[in-house]
Structure 1
Amino acid sequence: MTQDKPLNGRVALVAGATRGAGRAIAVQLGAAGATVFVTGRTTRERTSEVGRTTETIEETAELVTAAGGVGIAVPTDHLVPDEVKALIERIDRTHGRLDILVNDLWGGEHLVVFGKKMWETELGHGLRMLELGVKSHIITSSCALPLLVRHPGGLVVEITDGTSESNKGFRENFYYDLTKNAPIRMAFALGEDLKSEGCTAVSVTPGWLRSEQMLDHFGVQEENWRDAIAEQPDFAISESPVFVGRAVAALAADPERHRWNGQSLSSGQLAGEYGFTDADGSRPDAWAYIRDVVNGGADRTAEEYR
């Protein structure tokens, strides 16, 4: 390992790496020198229920390799245990180890209707959210952890929306609340299981993420994202996917990462710890802004939190 490639020789699996946070995490792990298996349901031949054709796992793998790592795309439905088992067997057969597991599986935005009560939400939609954002994580960890614990120092990262502190409040939809709190608790419980194996589990959340879908929602691109602030002033605290990607890469490269075991972390918090920035050189702390300004009514600007 070298200082500029601290993850040389390490093998990572980013489950749910088609777009958004998962793609950025995969790329930043690659930039740090890792071999990264990237999985998802959208390929150049097939589109998932999300319905987006503009991002694929093959493209993510190419971006990983271009960043300096080795990207390997493996189409996988993480709700099908046999597909996940085959994926892990392939990683074991070709590399004999798994050092980093990132559970970024979701893809349920199209199912969420905020403001609807539990009994007003279509049951099938609610249960599908739990499948996509909870069951898929459980299946993946169950299949992957026997390989990960083979070598001490393994890291499991559960990607979610919110921290244990921010999510004490209601997340505006019964099923979404359950889906996004579950990975926080999973990281805590896995941290307990992994202690004796010399491995670490954490949950990590971005702030207000400028994913491809979010940019499309506001009709902007990354180059002119600030144009959306006129419509939604709080969008000023948003962050690019690069920020959470750098957060996970910094965590993975930290030889003392076990001090975070079981904890709920945010991209802004980890930026303060490790000193990285977003792509534009800023260091947004969206959850502090939401706590103080959005929920707390403080008279401060988003720029004070960047």
Structure 2
Amino acid sequence: MGIRPTDGTAGALKDRVALVAGATRGASRAIAVALGEAGAVVYVTGRTTRGHRSEVGRAETVEETAELVTAAGGTGIAVPTDHLVPEQVRALAERVERERGRLDVLVNSCWGGDRLIEFGKKTWQTDLAKGLRMLRLGIESHAVTSHCLLPLLIRRPGGLVVEVTDGTAASNRRYRENLFFDLAKNAPIRMAFGLSEELKEYGGTAVALTPGFLRSEEMLDHFGVTEANWRDAVAKEPHFAIAESPAFLGRGVAHLAADPERGRFTGRSLSSGELAKVYGFTDVDGSRPDCDAYFEEVVFGGKDGTAEEYR
């Protein structure tokens, strides 16, 4: 991941303390690096380390993420953590309190359940253990994280909570074709709404954010391409032409965190494309993909159009 993921925010978050939960890879890693480039101290957590792989089985590690944060200009601190183990998350909170005394930005991006999804099956036909594991990974981990870390965030006015999910409230009106996955990805949207209510008296902001069709490491591997030649995958999946790099969402979070007026978004669910329109940043190729509009209008709406017209 040699691409610097933000533009227009360098130094804007100097002296801020951020924590990105589940920052081992993908959009979560890019968010951490973007916050680092903006000057923040960024604690990054995850279950895969150089000495241990999580159940996901991929090679990316939380230590690598911390090193990328530091290389980008911030201070990256890796804290291996399983956010389904409250004792580990409490220890994480105690470390942040001991070392920094506060927390300004909390990005809750724990997941790791894609391999468990069984599309094309009714709820009673799916593997129950896989379904329940998705709920734990996508909902319980987020609840544990907020419970343990929000006491640090409310110490100073203006804290930001970002619940990273898949889809906005509008796009998720359509069923996600697996009940457990649908629940796991809609719950963070409601969590952001609930937290926005709870943080009002502390001047805090809570939002849910989603990337579009993400060119994550796992997705690139799925199509047998790299970031350098990702467009070759369009032959297999035409809609991949709207795909965005993880850096796109990273830029969005950095701009949001640096915006003194971000409270106007509290309680809402937003996409990377929407934030790009507000803040004027682009993806790494200079384009501004609007994945939500493309799927809503062209794929589901039947409008004539191409992905390039939505970039």
TM-score, structure 2 normalization: 0.97
Matched residue, 1:101? 106
Structure 1 residue runs of 5 or longer lacking an equivalent are: none
Deviation of the 1:114 alpha carbon: 1.2
Matched residue, 1:162? 167
User: How many pairs does the alignment contain?
Assistant: 304
> Which string of whole-angstrom CA distances, capped at 9 and with x for unpartnered residues, describes residues 140-187 of structure 1?
000000010000000000000000000001011100000000000000
Matched residue, 2:15? 9
Could you say what the CA RMSD is over the residues aligned between the two structures, in angstroms? 0.9
Deviation of the 1:4 alpha carbon: 3.1
**Maintained 8 Å contact 2:213/2:240:** yes
Matched residue, 1:52? 58
TM-score, structure 1 normalization: 0.98
Q: Which amino acid aligns with 1:286?
A: C
> Which string of whole-angstrom CA distances, capped at 9 and with x for unpartnered residues, describes residues 203-249 of structure 1?
00000000000000000000000000011100000000000000111
Matches for 1:118-267 after TM superposition, within 5 Å: 118-267=123-272
> Which string of whole-angstrom CA distances, capped at 9 and with x for unpartnered residues, describes residues 87-145 of structure 1?
01000000001000000000001100112111111111000000001000000000000
Does 2:117 align with 1:112?
yes
Match of 1:290 among 279, 295, 300: 295
Q: Which amino acid aligns with 1:37?
A: Y
Aligned counterparts of 2:25 and 2:262: Cα–Cα separation in 1? 26
Q: Which amino acid aligns with 1:277?
A: T
Q: Which amino acid aligns with 1:75?
A: P
Match of 1:42 among 34, 48, 73: 48
**Maintained 8 Å contact 2:9/2:258:** no
Q: Which amino acid aligns with 1:63?
A: L
Aligned counterparts of 1:161 and 1:268: Cα–Cα separation in 2? 13
Q: Which amino acid aligns with 2:38?
A: A
Q: Which amino acid aligns with 2:269?
A: S
Q: Which amino acid aligns with 2:29?
A: R
Runs of 4+ more than 4 Å apart: none
Structure 2 residue runs of 5 or longer lacking an equivalent are: 1-7
Matched residue, 2:34? 28
Deviation of the 1:290 alpha carbon: 0.5
Aligned counterparts of 2:35 and 2:97: Cα–Cα separation in 1? 19
Aligned counterparts of 2:266 and 2:46: Cα–Cα separation in 1? 27
Q: Which amino acid aligns with 1:17?
A: A
